Amino acid sequence: MAKESRLSAIEHTKAASRSLRGTIADELGSSQPGFSSDNAHLLKFHGVIQHDDRDVRQARRQQGLEKQFEFSVRVRPTGGRMTAEQMLGLMDLTDQLCLGPLRLTSRQGLQLTHLPKHHLREVIQRITSLGMTTFSSGGDVNCNVMCCPASYGDAQQELRALADEIAATLMPDAQAYDELWLSDVVPHKRAHVDVANVDAVYGESYLPHKFKVGLALPEDNCVDVYAQDVGLLAIREGGRIAGYEAIVGGGMGMIPSAAASFPALAQPMAFVPPEDVLELILAIMTVYRDIGNRTSRSKARLKYLIGTLGLDEFRRRVEQQMGRPLAAPRGISVSGREDHLGWNAQDDGKWLMGVQVESGRLDDGHRGGVRSAVRDILIRFGADLWLTPQQNLLCEADASSRDEIDTILARHDVPLADTLSGVRRGAMSCPALPDCSNAITEAERIVPEVLAALEAEMERLGLADEHCAICVTGCPSGCARCYLADIALVGRTVDGKRAEDKFAIYVGGDRLGHRLNQLYLDLAPIDEVIAALKPLLAQYKQGRDPGESLGAFFDRKGVEQLRRFDRATATGQTNDEVETE
């Protein structure tokens, strides 16, 4: 661990937190609408995110008023699996307390939004009564374990069981959580002065940063294993899982102004048999815990440790922790990726109906009454459901229920999968303004306009059915895995004089999730984004190879040549002239 004097401020906060208690109890019982910055960071471990309404921040500042604090509470269902009773219970909760819409996250989690502080304990207790938890859905620990939601027979059942085991093994000690949120009365900090229950897995200061795990089959990388700190690709032999390709060091966040900050794809490190997976993950996490960067928050993720040590040295330290050598990786890579939208037959004889939830916002809006439709389906059939890594949801059904479910969706004007354009099927975004404290620009609220304009241009070019994974985020932090998309709009700054959002445009990601996109244009005003993309789409229309995807075409041409094509449009050069420059 770094020397005490060089630790970042957050490291000092965690070390002094008395196992995540801080002084949350005192502030929870106070009349103040928010929490101190130290406690706000500790609250993330409890699944509680503090922010203020950015839409009214400036006006309140001018009036001499403090920020209008509100909270989001994040639920962590492993692999996105929920029962009908759980989802209906959360819907009832948001209705009864007049909260904001439920939001499905890109990690198969779910957020309740727009909570005032005085509702926090009630909401968390009611979530617990539904058999769910918010604990360890954020903070410097393992967050929600991702797993492909589809059913592929025995192998998929093994995958889900392993995801549950990993989630249970990496769950921090919950004593502070139980005291703060689930006891009959709010505890006072003086009752716990002598508390010293250091977490057996995470230690006194937990991890340097968050730790993400995802499991998938090679033919369906819907969880984007290459974006995880630890990804596990199942290797099947004779219908059963013989082991896993363990890949390490993925992560999407970056700071554009910092040369040493970058998104990264996870790298194959070892083949591991099923019985050794938990030991391997604990060894990886222990090495990261003990020597990860705790002096600079921006360099604290596992990918930076591996970048500094090199993969071979990192592997050596993991082997040292385990006390034996690891088997070499087998060279297994992903070969497919599903969005699971529409009707999909499962090996157990059931069906899954994939319903798109634009930007993960589960409400009744401009794209139909998706919330009401899902509610009606769950009440009528009582089916289990899964949240997907693409912010959508799947409802389980028998074959005999298909027609009635289609009727319910049609009654609520919910678009069916086969009516969606390639642009809409692959779209994702983060919430951004007004809720996220890290947001620089809009994201979710401009998605309808951006998608409609891009959809119209693709249709004009005769490309309406071409898959186009587009991601819109309000900052460079990498939420919604934007650096893997065919096209990504990443919020960069706001023109103060014109109050105009400006975005970085990235192109050339890979639908299978194993190629990063590249910066094509920086600081593009939102009103000029579609105009900037039009020449690229035209080039794709004219110059693609048979079956070549949008991202693959952009990657093959490279951003420099794409920029030359753009300039050629203005100067009247032919494509052939540009190619030979």
Q: What is the pLDDT of residue 4?
A: 59
Q: How far apart are CA 202 and CA 35, in angstroms?
A: 25
Give me 173's structure tokens: 């000690």
Could you tell me which residues are beta bridge partners of residue 362? 102
Q: How far apart are CA 524 and CA 514, in angstroms?
A: 26
Q: Phi and psi of 166, rounded to 5°?
A: -60, -45
Average pLDDT over residues 419-447: 95
Decide if domain 1-22+140-179+198-338 falls under CATH 3.40.630.30: no
Eight-state DSSP code of residue 238 = T
Please give the distance of CA 372 from its chain centroid, rounded to a whole number: 25
* Fold match flag (1-22+140-179+198-338 vs 342-420): no
> By percentage, how much of the chain surpasses pLDDT 70?
94
Average pLDDT over residues 223-235: 97
The type of residue at 219 is E
CB distance 257 to 180 below 8 Å: no
Residue 219 C-beta-side C-alpha neighbours within 13 Å? 7
Segment holding 74, helix H or strand E: strand 69-75
Q: How far apart are CA 257 and CA 494, in angstroms?
A: 16
Render 491-522 in DSSP notation, one character per residue. EEEEETTTTEEEEEEEE---TTS-S--EEEEE
Confidence of residue 152 (pLDDT cuts 50, 70, 90): low
Taking CA atoms, 62 is separated from 165, 376, 436, 535, in Å, by: 51, 45, 21, 44
**Model pLDDT for residues 471-506, shown as the tens digit of each residue:** 999 999 998 999 999 999 999 999 988 889 999 999
* Domain ranges across the chain: 1-22+140-179+198-338, 342-420, 424-579
Average pLDDT over residues 278-289: 98
Q: Provide the CATH number for the domain formed by 424-579 in this structure.
A: 3.30.413.10
- Strands (E) across 177-297 are located at 213-216, 230-237, 240-248, 267-272
Q: How far apart are CA 500 and CA 459, in angstroms?
A: 28
Q: Phi and psi of 190, rounded to 5°?
A: -65, -20
**Model pLDDT for residues 346-389, shown as the tens digit of each residue:** 887 889 999 999 999 999 988 789 999 999 999 999 989 999 99
Q: How far apart are CA 225 and CA 268, in angstroms?
A: 11
Using the predicted structure, report yes or no on whether residue 191 has a pLDDT greater than 70: no
Mean pLDDT of the chain, nearest integer: 93
**Model pLDDT for residues 34-45, shown as the tens digit of each residue:** 999 999 999 999
Nearest CA to 510 out of 315, 255, 337 is that of: 337
**Model pLDDT for residues 58-90, shown as the tens digit of each residue:** 899 999 998 999 999 999 999 999 999 999 999
CATH T-level fold of 342-420: Sulfite Reductase Hemoprotein; domain 2 (3.90.480)
Segment holding 523, helix H or strand E: strand 518-525
**Model pLDDT for residues 4-26, shown as the tens digit of each residue:** 558 999 999 999 999 999 999 99
Using the predicted structure, report yes or no on whether residue 198 has a pLDDT greater than 90: no
Cis peptide preceding 434, ω within 30 of 0: yes
Whole-model pTM? 0.94
**Model pLDDT for residues 442-454, shown as the tens digit of each residue:** 999 999 999 999 9
CB distance 147 to 215 below 8 Å: yes
**Model pLDDT for residues 85-126, shown as the tens digit of each residue:** 999 999 999 999 999 999 999 999 999 999 999 999 999 999
